[in-house]
Structure 1
Amino acid sequence: MSFEPIALPWLLRAPEGFRNSCRALSDADPELGATLQKMATHYLDAAQAAAFGKAMARLRAGGAKFEPLSGFRLAILPGATFDFIAAATPAAAARHGIAVEVTLCPLDQIEQQAYDVASELYRATPDAVLLAVDHRWLGLDKPALDGDHELRLQDAVDRLRGVLGALSETAATTAIVPTIPVPPSQLFGSYDRREPGSVRSLIDRFNALLPGICAETGSVLFDVAALAESVGTATWFDAAFYSLYKLPFSPDAVPLYCDGLARLMGAMRGKARKCLVLDLDNTCWGGVIGDDGLENIRVGGGGAGGDSFLSVQRMALELKARGVILAVSSKNEDETARLPFREHPDMLLKESDIAVFQANWNDKASNLEAIAAKLEIGLDALVLLDDNGAERAQVRSALPMVGVPELPNDPALYPAILLGAGYFEAVSFSSEDRARSASYAANAQRAEVYSKARNLDDYLASLEMQIGFAPFDALNRPRIAQLINKTNQFNLTTRRYTEAQVAQMEAGSAAFTLQTRLADRYGDFGMIGVIIANETEMGQVWEIDTWLMSCRVLGRKVDEAMLAELVEAARAAGVTRLLARYIPTAKNRMVADHFDKLGFIRVAEHDDGGREYELAPSSFVEPKLPFARAAEKAPA
C-alpha cells in the first residue's frame, strides 16, 4: 500500500445517507457544534461537502450557535475559478474546529477589491483574506529568456506587495499567501534549474522570497506548493479543466486543498493539537511485549519491520523537539510496558520523553481523559496513534473531540499519515513552543515540591518566582496573537485578534496593553498572560477588553499581580474607573467569578450568564505577592 494524500487516507469515508443527515441538521440539537465537527471528520466528496456547507449556511441564517467551533470570516480573492473550493471549505474547517463563513469575491478582481474600500471584500469584515493566486496571475507562467528575468520576478513581487499593502492599510486583517506550485512541463529538462529565466527557476525564486514577505507583512504562509508536490504536479495540474473552466488545479485535489486551508484557520484560532498519545504494542514496536518478551519485539535492528517502528519513534521525537507533548496509553502492565524504554538498546524513545505514562487495563477513552486531566489540557488537544481499529473506533465514539487518524496495515506509513493529517499545524514557532515538553516535565517537579510543602504560601515562596510586565511590542507580537487566539479556558471575553490588529494596538494610544511573563526555579514559562484595556468616551475610564492567562500558572496569584500592574498604570493615567465584563462560552466557566474574587463590584448580570463589573483604582489595595520583578533578585 502506498501513501496517497489526495484521498485523505487518515479519514474514514462518509457514512451512507450523509447528505440526508446534513438536511436533517437542526438548531434544536443542544450539541450542534460538536455534531457538525463529528460529521466533518470524514472524507467528503464535492456533493457531500456542498451539502454540509449549505446546512451550515441555513443554520447560521436562523441564528444557530456552533460552539465549540470557533467563528471565522474568510474572504477569498480568486485569480481563477474558486466556487468549488469555497463550497467545500466549511466542511473542512469544521473538521479542524472552525465554523467558517466564506465570502467569495468576484473572479480575477484581486486588485480592484483590495484597493477599493467600498468593495465586497471590506464589507465582509473578514478575519483573514486568502489571496488565491498562482503562477498565471503573477506573470510567472512563461519563460523569460531574453535577459529580463529579474524584471519579471520583481514585477510579481511588486504586484503581491501592492495587494498586501492595501489590505494592511485598509483593514486589520490577516492575508493568507500561497506558495506557487511549479507546473510539470520542463522547457530545458534538467537544465531548467540552472536557467534563471525558466518558469521553474522564476517560481522557485519567488517562493524563496515569500517567507520574508509574509514575516514583514504579518501574513500567513499557505504551502500550496507542498500539497501539489505531495500528490505530484502532473496530477495537481489539469490542463483540460483549466482550459474549460479556469479551475486552478484538478477537482480531485479540492478536498486536500480545503483541508490544508482549514488547518491554517484552525491554527490561527489556536485549534492545533498539543499532545500525541502513543499506543505501544504494534505501534511503537512490533509484537506484544507482554507475550513476546523484550528479546522478541521488533524495533530497529536493520530489518524492514523493525525500522518501520523506529520511524514512528523518530517522528515522535521530532514532534517533541517542536513542542508537542508525548504521552503513552497502552493496555499493559505498567512495569512490562516500561521495560523496552529502559532496556531495549534500539529504542529511540526513553521514559524521560513521555510526559504522562498510562499503562493499565482501563479502556483507552478513560486513559485519554486521565492524560488530559494530568496535563491540564482539553481532550481536543489530544491525538491518538493506535494500530488497533477497534480501539480507534471506541475512542471516536466516546471522545469525538480527540484526533484519531485511520491507519493502514503497514506501520512504515504511520508517520506520513499522522503528519499528512495536519493535527499539529503551526502558524508560528516561538521559544515557548520549543520548550513546551520540558515545561510539562518541570511541572512534575513542582507537583512533588507542592506535596511536601506545609501550605500554599510556603510552596509559592519555594518556587522563587520572577514576573515580568511590558506593553505589546513587535518582537513578541506573534506570541501575543497566538495566546489571544488559542486561550479558551482562562479568557474573560474570548475576543480574537490578528497580528495586524495587535500591531495597531501597539501603535495606538487609546489602549493599555500588557504582556506578562513568568519563570521559577524549575524553568521559564515564557509569556503567560495578556490584558487589553481601552479608553472609553466617558473620559478617565478604561474598559478591559481582553484578560487571558495560561492555565499552567493557575493558583500562583499571577492574576492578582496583573491586576496590580493594571491599576498602577490606570492611576498614572488619571483613570477613575475600570470597567470589566465576563462573557460566558462553552469553555471559560472556570473564570465566571474571576472579577468577584479580585474585588470588582458586580453592576449587571445577563440572562446568558454574562456579568459586568467596575473597580475604582483609588480603592485598590495591593496584596502581598510571592514574586520578584524579572530584573530583580528572586525572594528568599
Structure 2
Amino acid sequence: MHSPTTDPLGLPWLLPAPDDVRGQVRALAGSAEAIAAQALTGLAGHALDLDQLTSVAKLLDKGRSRIEAGTLTPLKLALLLDGTADHLAPAIRGSGLRHGLLIDCWVAPYGQALAEATRPGSDLSASGAQMALVASDFRSLGLGRPHVDAGAAEDAVAGALARIEAIVGGLAGLKITPVLATVPVPAGSWMGSFDALAPGSPAAMVAAFNVRLAALAQARGALLFDAARVAALAGHGRWFDDGLWNRSKIPFALDAVPLWADHVARLLGAARGKARKCLVLDLDNTLWGGIIGDDGLEGIKLGQGSSDGEAHLAVQAMALDLKARGVVLAVVSKNEEAAARLPFQKHPEMLLREADIAVFIANWNDKATNIAHVATTLNIGVDALLFLDDNPAERARVRQMLPQVAVPEVPADPSLYPMMVMGSGWFDAVALSDDDLKRAEQYRANAERSVALQQIGDYDDYLASLDMACELSRFDAIGRARIAQLINKSNQFNLTTRRYTEAEVAVAEADDQVFDLQVRLVDRFGDNGMISVVIAKAAGDEWLIDTWLMSCRVLGRRVEEAVLASLVQGARGAGAVRLVGEWLPSPKNAMVERHYEKLGFKAAGALEGGGTRWVLELADHVQPKLPMALSGDRSFAA
C-alpha cells in the first residue's frame, strides 16, 4: 500500500484534485467571459489524473479564442515517440499550465519519428514546432533482447544511438530544438544482479545508451529529459505495463502519465525561464522544531540526537544546496525579529546563518504581504518565489492572496519537506553557469548598495562611489549557457521577449551579419555577473536591434547608455547610418515601453500587436561620459 503523502505517482506536492474538476472545466468552457490564466493555472495546480488533464486540454482547445494568456508563455511542441503518444499530448498541455506554459502539441504518426524529422516537406516541417520531444523505448531501439557477444551488444547500442543522431540532425535542419529523453531501464532481468556486469544484458545496453545520449545532447545543444529517473521514482515494476505495450504500443502505465507529463512540462518551463529563483522559508516548525518565542534557544528541536531535530537540519541543508546553485534564500516569519534571528546567531547546530539570507522579515504582518515585499526587495516577480511553511492555514492564505507563488503541500512529518520541495520541480534547471553560482552573493551585495545610496544621498555621487567596471564583449562559448539563460528568463527589461536556445545563440555567434553583445558589471560591492544581452542584425544601411535585455538588478546604473554607445560604434564601423529598435509589449515589459525614447531614438510608427518602432540616426548620437570604466572587445573610448 502506497502512502498518499509520499507516492510520487500521486504528485503529493500539489493539492489534491477537487471533486468537481470536470464541472469547473465545463463552467469555464461554457462561459462567454474571457478565460484568465489564473483560472487555468489554478485548475492545473492540483494533482490531476490523466482524465482530468485531458479535460483541461480540451478546455484549451474550446476556449482558445477567449484565453487571456497573461504570464503564460506559448510553446509549440512536437512529440516524436516510438510508441502511441496521442494520450500524452493532453497530459503535457494540462501540466504545462502549472509551469507557466501554454503548450500546443503536434504528434508524429506512430512509427514515423525518423521520417518526419528527415523527410523534406514532412508535416513536422510545417507544424511550427519550436521544440521536439524525442522519446524512445528500449524495445523499439533493439535493446530488449540480450547478447552473449559483447561486440553484438556494442553494435546494438551504436545502432540505437545512430537513429537518434539522424533525428537530431533532421531537427537541426528544421531549426527545432531537440529534447532527448533517456530510456527507462527494463524491469525484468536476464541474469539477475549479474546484468550490471554483462554488457549484453538489456539493462547494461540501455544504461550505455543513456550515457551516450546525454553526451549527444550536450554536444548538439539539445535538452535532456531524464525519463529513466522518472521511471525510477515511480518504480520500474509500476512503470511498465507489458499488456499495454503488446496491445497498443503504449510505452508505460497510464497511472504514470501525470508524473511523466509534469516532468516534461517542468523541463520545458525551465528552458523558458519559468523556474523559481527564490526559496522563502518559514521558521518555527520549518527550519527548527518548536516556537522560538515560547521555547527559547534551548527548547527548539534542531540537530543531531532527535529525529525531528535531524529532519529540520535536512531542510536547512536543502536550502544551502539550493543557494550553492544560485537560488536566493529569504525568511518570512510571524515572530519578534530579535527572537527570530537568535538561532541564526547563537544556535550551534544551525547550518543556515544570517549571511545566507538575502531578505529577512520577521514581524506580525500577514505573510502574503511580507512575501510580496520580498519580491519587491529582490526586484523579481512573485512568480519567481517558492514558499515553504509547515502551517496549512498560512499556505492556503498565500495561495489565495498570491496565486503566482509556488506553495508545495507538505505533510506533518518534516523529514519529508525536502522531498516535496525538490520533487515539485519548481527549481529544476537546464544549465548551471558561473553566474548562477554567484547569484545569492549578488543579491546580498545589492542590499549593501541600497544602504550606500541611503547614506550618500546624491545619486550621481552614489554612482561614482560604486567604482563600476563594465565589460562589453561579443558572445563566446564560455558565456553561451548564461546568455541563453538570460534570453529565456528575462521578462521585465526585455524589449522584444524573443526566446532563443543555446544552439540558436551559437548560430548567432558565428553569423558575421549579427552584432552580439554580452555585458558584465563589477563594482566595489561585488561582481554582478552578466547583466545584459544584445543581438542586432545588419540589414543594408541600418541595424535592427532584435534583442535587448538587461537584469533589473542594475537599473539606473547607466549601463544601457554604454550598451547603446557600443552598438553605435559597431554600426558605424560596419557602414550603417541608423539603428532601428522595436518594443513588443508583453505582460511584464511595460517598464521599457519608453526605453528607446529615453535614449534619443525617434518614434517611427506602430507595429502589429501594439508595439512601437524607433529609429536613431547615427550622426545624431553623442558618446556619453559615464560613471564607469569600460573594457572588452566591444567597448568604446569614453
Relative to the length of structure 2, the TM-score reads: 0.96
C-alpha separation between the residues in 2 aligned to 1:127 and 1:65? 21
Other-structure match for 1:617:
618
SS of the aligned residue for 1:249 comes to: coil
SS of the aligned residue for 1:100 comes to: strand
Does residue 561 of structure 1 match 2:565? Answer: no
Other-structure match for 1:43:
47
Which string of whole-angstrom CA distances, capped at 9 and with x for unpartnered residues, describes residues 328-369 of structure 1?
111110001111111111111111111111111111100101
SS of the aligned residue for 1:24 comes to: helix
SS of the aligned residue for 1:295 comes to: helix
Letter in 1 for 2:136: V
SS of the aligned residue for 2:56 comes to: helix
C-alpha separation between the residues in 2 aligned to 1:4 and 1:320? 27
Per-residue deviation at 1:219?
0.4
Select between 524-533 and 247-256 the one with higher mean Cα deviation: 524-533
Select which of 300, 304, 308 maps to 1:305: 308
What does 1:159-308 correspond to in 2, within 5 Å?
Answer: 159-168=163-172, 170-308=173-311
Select which of 75, 80, 104 maps to 1:77: 80
CA contact (8 A) 2:50 2:255 kept: no
Which string of whole-angstrom CA distances, capped at 9 and with x for unpartnered residues, describes residues 263-306 of structure 1?
01111110000000111111111111111111111111321111
C-alpha separation between the residues in 2 aligned to 1:612 and 1:162? 42
Q: Which runs of 5+ in 2 are unaligned?
A: none
Other-structure match for 1:458:
461
What does 1:50-449 correspond to in 2, within 5 Å?
Answer: 50-60=54-64, 62=65, 64-147=67-150, 148-168=152-172, 170-449=173-452
SS of the aligned residue for 2:299 comes to: coil
Per-residue deviation at 1:631?
6.0
Instruction: Report the aligned-residue RMSD.
Output: 1.9
Letter in 1 for 2:295: D
Letter in 2 for 1:511: V
Other-structure match for 2:552:
551
- How many residue pairs match? The answer is 632
Per-residue deviation at 1:500?
2.5
Other-structure match for 1:483:
486
C-alpha separation between the residues in 2 aligned to 1:535 and 1:631? 21
SS of the aligned residue for 1:214 comes to: helix
CA contact (8 A) 2:472 2:632 kept: no
CA contact (8 A) 1:173 1:500 kept: no
The 4+ residue runs of structure 1 with deviation greater than 4 A are 26-31, 606-609
Per-residue deviation at 1:559?
0.5
Which string of whole-angstrom CA distances, capped at 9 and with x for unpartnered residues, describes residues 408-429 of structure 1?
1111111011100001010000
Letter in 2 for 1:157: L
Per-residue deviation at 1:155?
1.3
When residues 222 and 606 of structure 1 are mapped into structure 2, their CA distance, relative to the original with a 3 A threshold, is closer
Which string of whole-angstrom CA distances, capped at 9 and with x for unpartnered residues, describes residues 187-223 of structure 1?
1111111111111111112222232211110000111
Q: Which runs of 5+ in 1 are unaligned?
A: none
Per-residue deviation at 1:14?
2.2
Letter in 2 for 1:14: A
Per-residue deviation at 1:607?
8.6
SS of the aligned residue for 1:150 comes to: helix
What does 1:575-586 correspond to in 2, within 5 Å?
Answer: 575-586=576-587
CA contact (8 A) 1:34 1:68 kept: no
CA contact (8 A) 2:368 2:401 kept: yes
C-alpha separation between the residues in 1 aligned to 2:91 and 2:23? 17
Per-residue deviation at 1:63?
6.5
Other-structure match for 1:515:
518
Letter in 2 for 1:130: L
Letter in 1 for 2:616: L
SS of the aligned residue for 1:195 comes to: coil
CA contact (8 A) 1:329 1:357 kept: yes
CA contact (8 A) 2:276 2:386 kept: yes
When residues 352 and 177 of structure 1 are mapped into structure 2, their CA distance, relative to the original with a 3 A threshold, is same
CA contact (8 A) 2:35 2:66 kept: no
Letter in 1 for 2:563: M
SS of the aligned residue for 2:269 comes to: helix
Per-residue deviation at 1:31?
6.6
C-alpha separation between the residues in 2 aligned to 1:529 and 1:615? 20
CA contact (8 A) 1:279 1:328 kept: yes
SS of the aligned residue for 1:185 comes to: coil
Which string of whole-angstrom CA distances, capped at 9 and with x for unpartnered residues, describes residues 563-620 of structure 1?
0000001101111121111111110111111011000001224696422110101110
Letter in 2 for 1:19: R
Per-residue deviation at 1:116?
1.2
Per-residue deviation at 1:38?
1.7
When residues 42 and 243 of structure 1 are mapped into structure 2, their CA distance, relative to the original with a 3 A threshold, is same
CA contact (8 A) 2:135 2:182 kept: no
Does residue 531 of structure 1 match 2:537? Answer: no
Select between 468-477 and 282-291 the one with higher mean Cα deviation: 468-477
CA contact (8 A) 1:172 1:498 kept: no
Which string of whole-angstrom CA distances, capped at 9 and with x for unpartnered residues, describes residues 85-108 of structure 1?
112111100000000011111111
When residues 196 and 607 of structure 1 are mapped into structure 2, their CA distance, relative to the original with a 3 A threshold, is closer
SS of the aligned residue for 2:294 comes to: helix
SS of the aligned residue for 1:519 comes to: strand
Relative to the length of structure 1, the TM-score reads: 0.96
C-alpha separation between the residues in 1 aligned to 2:454 and 2:305? 45
Per-residue deviation at 1:176?
0.6
C-alpha separation between the residues in 1 aligned to 2:264 and 2:609? 33
When residues 322 and 29 of structure 1 are mapped into structure 2, their CA distance, relative to the original with a 3 A threshold, is farther
Letter in 2 for 1:21: Q
C-alpha separation between the residues in 1 aligned to 2:70 and 2:110? 32
CA contact (8 A) 1:183 1:234 kept: no
Select between 297-306 and 66-75 the one with higher mean Cα deviation: 297-306
Which string of whole-angstrom CA distances, capped at 9 and with x for unpartnered residues, describes residues 446-501 of structure 1?
12222222422221122111111222233322211111111000011111122222
Letter in 2 for 1:210: L
C-alpha separation between the residues in 1 aligned to 2:303 and 2:33? 50
C-alpha separation between the residues in 1 aligned to 2:381 and 2:482? 20
Per-residue deviation at 1:321?
0.7
Other-structure match for 1:595:
596
Letter in 2 for 1:384: F
Per-residue deviation at 1:530?
1.2
